[in-house]
Each structure stands twice: as C-alpha cells, then as structure tokens.
Chains A and B, each alone.
Chain A
C-alpha cells in the first residue's frame, strides 16, 4: 500500500513552492518524519517529512517544478520488505513527468519571439503559449512583459552592456564559458521586494559614528560569566537591540509603518535581524525585543543563525517585524546604505569596528574602537530630525550602556 507524500501547508498566503532538491531517491528507505525533499517558497526553504516509514517508491515531480499546497510529490511504499517494489521503481515515471517541461523549452521560438525574449531577458518556459501546439506567439511574450515579468535573467546585450559577451555559435573561441542558473524563489522574492522598497519609499540614509570602548570593556569584563550563566556568548547585537528598543520608544515614528492613508504605531518592538543563509539573506524576527533580556536576545539570534544554515527557519519566524538591524560589519563593511524591509520604515546598519584616531574632550588624540552607524528610513513617514535623534540616542546608549539601565 503506497502512501502519498503531499506538500504541507506552507503558511499564510503561500500557495505554491518550488521543489528545490530531492533528499531521498526512489528505493531509499525512509523513517517517519525523515525529510525527503526540500521546497523553496517566496520566503523560506523548508523540508517535506516522510508521513510514515517505508521505501520511497517514486518521485512524481522534478527538481525545479512548481508544486501547490496539497499536491502529491512522491509515494512511499510501506514496510521494510519492499525490495521488490523498490526494484520496479525505475526512474522512468519521474522522467516522463519532467518531459513536458523539457519539451516546452525545446520548442523552437519563431524569430520575432526569439528577439523579444532576448530583448526583455525573460524565460520563455515561464510563458504560456497560445499558438499552434502551445507555441509562444509574439503577443504572448508582449502580454507577459506588460503584466510584469520577473527581473531579467541577464543584462541586455546593448552597446552599453556589451562587456558581457557571449561568443556566437560561429566563433570557435574557448575558455569563456558562462553558466546560467535559475534564480531560486527566495532570490526572486528578495529581488522583487528590494526593488519595491526602492520604488515606493522615499529612502534616505543618515550616518553617525559610535565609540565602542564602553561596550567592548563590558564584554571583555563579563563574557565568561555571561557565557557560564546563560550558555551563550555576549555579542554586540544584544547591546544594539536593547539600544534600538530604547530609541524606538523615544522616536515612535521609526517603529511605525504606513498603511494606505494611515500610520500604524506599535507599542512593541519586533526586530528583524538579517541573517545570511546559504541561499541568500533571510530575515527572522526577534519578537517583543523590548521585553527581552540581553541573554534572550543573544539566544534568539544564535538560534536563528543556526536554523538559517540548516534551512529550518519557518514562515512564522519571518513574519512581521517593525524594525530591522542589519550587521554588515561581520563581513567587514565600512559603511553602507541599507534598504528598508517593507512595510517597515527604517533599518539600522551596523559596520565594522576599527581603531581610529579620535579627538577626546580634553583635546588629546586617542585611538578608539569606532563604528559607523547608518539609518536608512522612509522620509514619507520619518522626519530628518527624528531619524537623526534616533541615531544619536543609539550612539549615546552604546557609548554609555548605563543609560540602558536607567532608561535614558
């Protein structure tokens, strides 16, 4: 008796995913709840567990196929003595299923369609053809482009962009290969959202610098004790998250967002932290950061980092967020202008810490561990004065962490 493996519920407003990878092949023995495939959605990669133990008998979709919630993607043959059924599961069904996709893309495009596809850099296999045998007509491509095709796969070969040269078939040149890789769904979403943010918000960035001496002293003084008590390293993020909560309370517009003609203010702080994952940047949310201790913050971030690497972050982990902290400093960035994560209105960019000469209050010059801070914000909602005040608050709290204690 075969059991169907279905695409699980992916989360609110997510109805389809792309099959990213088969983790188990036909003939493999699987335990109940063992992951057998990974799916990519707009926001997160997740795994499909085996509903019961048995032998995976066949794949019904191919890698790269789009699957809907509830769709059957594989079958599991119950029992361990299923060697016979494993043997008869040749890869043929999977190949047959994949065939229509391959066929669609191997159908020759007419010259005018080919030109249009190249001109707009769109993937013809993503367009529904209305011509003979489902072929693409020029109109199909034009409609597709008009209705908002995804970002071009390649830069156009214009005179300007001509540095990117593909050798023509007739030139037998070697050693200049290029590889085309499908954009993951995650990447496509990231691309779309970033561009949306730029197109919608009146983005502006304000900068400041902060002397990290006090924070670094506190860290080195208490790091062993902290690690012993809380089981996690005392990092910088705890300080910045707490400083941000303090500053957001003082300047509530930075923690607000625009919804139509209204402004939504939040009395809580949900901080999205940008975490780099193997497939791109993901942004899980530290909820109610205003009520968290240093240790809670550090623990939460540590957990996110680990799960981002494993690809086990869930949709729920990503949803919401009222403010974002992005730490480009870990990669060595000196200064940057981050892009907000809509519908949020601001993002704090942290950068690398390095010793720089600083003129001290007494007029002497000292080498101090300095960091640049950047706050990108939506000027539609946040005034320049508010943005600058917010960043100064953070600077003050980091330079004198005692302020965090006494709410200043």
Chain B
C-alpha cells in the first residue's frame, strides 16, 4: 500500500529488533529498522553478550596459562604475559565482524537501516532524526539499559565507577574491583577481572547471589566462586560511593541494619539490573503507556494496546534475555504478516557464562514447591562423570526436577563448564513434554558431559549407575 512508507518499521536493532526486521522482510513485507548506533546489533552485540564472552574466553585462557593450571597436564609455561590492549582489540574485532554481519544480512534481505533515534509522532509515524517515516506496523524493540543506583554516579570515561559497558573497556587491571550486584552480569564481568589478576568483591543486597535461580544452584555456585577467590558479601547494601581521583570508597552496611563500614576500590561495577529503554520514544504520541515497572504490556501476539504497534524483548515483561527477544521478534513479525507466531515463555533458558557455567530451564525447586505438586529431584555430580573427571573439570552437577506422579520434567539446573550447551537438550525435550524416563532411556554418547544429564534423569527414579 502506498499510503505508508513501510509495512513494518522496527525501532531498535538488537537481537530482538534485527531478527524481527529480517523475518518481516523474508515474509515479503517492506521493512525498515531504526538504529542510532553506528553499528547494528544493539547492546548484545556491541556492549553486552558478545564482548563479554570475548573477554571471558580470553581471560580464561590467560588464567589457565598464567596460573600454572596446565602444569598438571604436562604443559609448563613460563612468562605468560597479559597484553590487555591486544585482548581488547581481539574482542573489538569479534564485535566488528558480528555487527558487520548483520549489516550484510540487512542488505541481503532488503531491510532498510534508518540511522537515528526513533520517536513516535503517531501510532503510524515515527520521527527518525529530522525525517518522519510512516509504517503500517511498528515493532518497538528498544531494549534496556543499566539501572542506576541512587547516590552512585557512573562515569565510564573515568574508568572508576562503571557499568557493564565501562567494565568491558578498563584500560588496566584494577587492584581491587567491587561489583555491586551478585547477578549474572556482575559475576561474569567480575570473573573476567578476577582471572586477569584483580581482587574482586561482590556486594549483594539479598542473602544469596544469583536471585531468581534455583536455591541449590545459588548456594553451590557461591561456594565455587569463593573457592576461585571471589569475596562475596551477601545481605549487604551499598549506601554511597565517593570517588577521589582513581580511587573509590564505598560505604556498605548490613541490609538488615547495623554498623556501616567502608571498602576501598580501584574500580566499582554497578550491576544491579536493567530497565526498559523508553526515554525519548514519545510513547504517548502513539497512545501508549507503560506499566508501573516501565514496561510495555503486550498481548499474545506481541501487539500493544494500540493496534499495529508491537513490542518485544527487554521493553516488555519477562526475563531480559537476548534469545527471548529473538524468538519474540520472529513471532511478532509472523503475527504482523498474518501468520501464527509462537514463543513458549515457560521454557526460556537462562545461562551464566562464568566458569563453571550455570544454566537453568523451567521451574526452580522453590517454584515447584510453591505450586504444591509432589515432585522428585535427581542430581548427578560431574565428579561421577568420566569425561569431566578425565578433563579434571569436575565442578558442578546436573539437577533434574520431575513431577512425582506423571514424571514430567518440570525444571533442570546445571553447574558445569558446558552447562550452557547441555541445557539445550533438556529444553528441547521439555518442549516435547519429556518425562525423566524419556531422558534416561535416550542414548547419550560416551564419554561426554551430557551423560550427567542422563544420569540425573535416572537419579529421579533413584537409579543412577555411576553413583
């Protein structure tokens, strides 16, 4: 129809937005994507998932080489040295390649990139820069950004009090880094600098790290992190941060109240969460409002209260995860095209990319308990897995929770160097309504870490072999 410039206009080119745009174009819709950054890919590719994984991988290799951990395998290295500048450069190269890849995919699929910030003028028109474009359907995929902590000023350029973006760019390894927030981002970036030689203190307000994850996992991963050298202060709140030159002084006190104390640090990472990006979008001009958590509510087809305006990913309720946004992007584009989109919000895996990794799917034991159904738990430690033992990599276990009556798997939680990869098989099985017996009677290759998943499933019935 000539009455609109585009069939679909996607605001934001993160993993939700770019995927939605490509799928919409594949479905024959005239599509444009608004992005103000110089590169596509949003937080995830530019300053989130991807560069953090680059730093996690590089720092892990450095740590293995430097710490003498390889000596037991007969590999003696002397003089392994850190070239942080090169490490950052390699990371940037990976980011450039991936963001460039999206630009290529846009060209290939004929998605037009409109450079600039988008602001609604009506439910069908958006101002991008100084130009107004119209679209029959608009998908909001603006993502999220760091939640600020009152009384703490983040300044990434000074490299002292930083957010996740700043923590990826520190020019030198701090002597002491304090991470405010014991969640996924804090533990991952804390791991990077710990491996590169910093002393790392994690300050968490709640009485355990990794809020929202399974209780056993929270407890046992904290033990592993402490063994690695993390100083973890749970049940502690930060009441203020003052910066003098290159040093920061944090004032902390017990969350329940008590005597305050101070902590000196060379770097402070604020990682207490993220909030939806809606500033400057002028949602009101589209006739939209946010809920009291600043999120845009959507229906089953990701359409907002305003017809033709959709929202996906971090701006909507649910976990702020790239893969959730991607799947929603595909579904939203399919709904726009008049097809049936599908996202199973009960089965969105969550992974912490530390070493070992921590991965989770379905319900936690606490959530299952709350539903009141009778359940069984099967656990199998990697200390009983031949491959993990051979690799001298036995931290962690697989925990499978199944309905005691129907044996349907309700959740699985894994601590393992390969947890993020292992969780995929359980997720897929759960999409098909697996029972623990289904997993137990599925042949798993030997010797692999995946056998631990099978053994944990067997343990639900009380019959693991190698324990």
Contacts and interface: CB of A to CB of B under 8 A. Distances in A.
B466 interface: no
Interface in B417-437: 430-433
B300 A159 contact: no
A118 B335 contact: no
Interface in A92-122: 107-111, 114-116, 118-119
A355 to B, nearest CB: 43
B344 A111 contact: yes
Given A157-B335, A162-B307, A108 B432 contact: yes
A115 B430 CA distance: 16
Interface string A165-199: 11111111100000000000000000000000000
Nearest to B431: A111
Interface string B336-354: 1111101011100000000
A27 B78 CA distance: 88
A118 B340 CA distance: 7
Contacts of B336: 159
Contacts of A165: 299-301, 303
A159 B337 contact: yes
A170 B342 contact: no
Given A108-B433, A111-B431, A170 B299 contact: no
Interface in A127-161: 135, 156-160
B340 A115 contact: yes
A118 B342 contact: yes
B325 to A, nearest CB: 13
A172 B316 CA distance: 11
A273 B258 CA distance: 84
Given A107-B433, A170-B316, A158 B338 contact: yes
Interface in B280-336: 297-301, 303, 307-308, 316-318, 335-336
B303 A162 contact: yes
Contact of A172 (B307, B317, B335, B344): B317
Nearest to B434: A108
A166 B341 CA distance: 14
Contact of A159 (B335, B344, B432): B335
A173 B339 CA distance: 25
A122 to B, nearest CB: 12
Contacts of B307: 162-163
B296 to A, nearest CB: 10
Nearest to A176: B299
A328 B342 CA distance: 43
A169 B301 contact: no
Contacts of B430: 108
Contacts of A168: 298-300, 345
Nearest to B307: A162
Nearest to B296: A171
Nearest to A117: B340
A166 B431 CA distance: 21
Contact of A160 (B338, B340, B433): B338
A161 to B, nearest CB: 9
A159 B137 contact: yes
B345 A170 contact: yes
Contact of A110 (B298, B300, B432): B432
Residue of B308, B344, B433 with highest tally of chain A CB at under 10 A: B433
B317 A171 contact: yes
Given A119-B340, A171-B317, A166 B433 contact: no
Interface in B106-159: 137
A203 B335 CA distance: 35
A108 B408 CA distance: 10
A197 to B, nearest CB: 28
Contacts of B137: 159
Contacts of A157: 300-301, 335, 340
A169 B302 CA distance: 12
Nearest to B337: A159
B346 A162 contact: no
B299 A115 contact: no
A397 B147 CA distance: 82
Contacts of A107: 433
A373 B307 CA distance: 41
A34 B316 CA distance: 58
B318 A110 contact: no
A170 B324 CA distance: 12
Contacts of A160: 338
Contacts of A115: 340, 342
Contacts of B340: 115-116, 118-119, 156-157
Contacts of B431: 108, 110-111
A159 B307 CA distance: 8
A156 B337 CA distance: 12
A169 B346 contact: yes
Contacts of A108: 408, 430-433
Interface in B184-231: none
Contacts of A158: 335, 338-339
A219 B201 CA distance: 97
Contacts of B308: 159
A407 to B, nearest CB: 59
Contacts of A169: 345-346
A107 B137 CA distance: 36
A170 B344 contact: no
A118 B339 CA distance: 10
A193 to B, nearest CB: 28
A404 to B, nearest CB: 56
Given A159-B336, A162-B303, A111 B298 contact: no
A103 to B, nearest CB: 9
A157 B341 CA distance: 9
B306 to A, nearest CB: 11
Contacts of B337: 159
A111 B342 contact: yes
B425 to A, nearest CB: 15
B324 to A, nearest CB: 9
Nearest to B293: A172
A165 B309 CA distance: 13
Contacts of B346: 169
Contacts of B316: 170-171
A109 B432 CA distance: 6
Given A108-B431, A110-B432, A172-B317, A166 B338 contact: no
15 contacts: A108-B431, A111-B431, A116-B340, A119-B339, A119-B340, A135-B432, A156-B340, A158-B335, A162-B299, A163-B307, A165-B300, A165-B303, A167-B297, A168-B299, A168-B345
Q: Which 8 A-B pairs have the closest CB atoms?
A: A108-B433, A165-B299, A119-B340, A170-B318, A158-B338, A166-B300, A115-B342, A170-B317
Given A119-B340, A135-B432, A166-B300, 4 more contacts: A108-B431, A108-B433, A111-B431, A168-B345
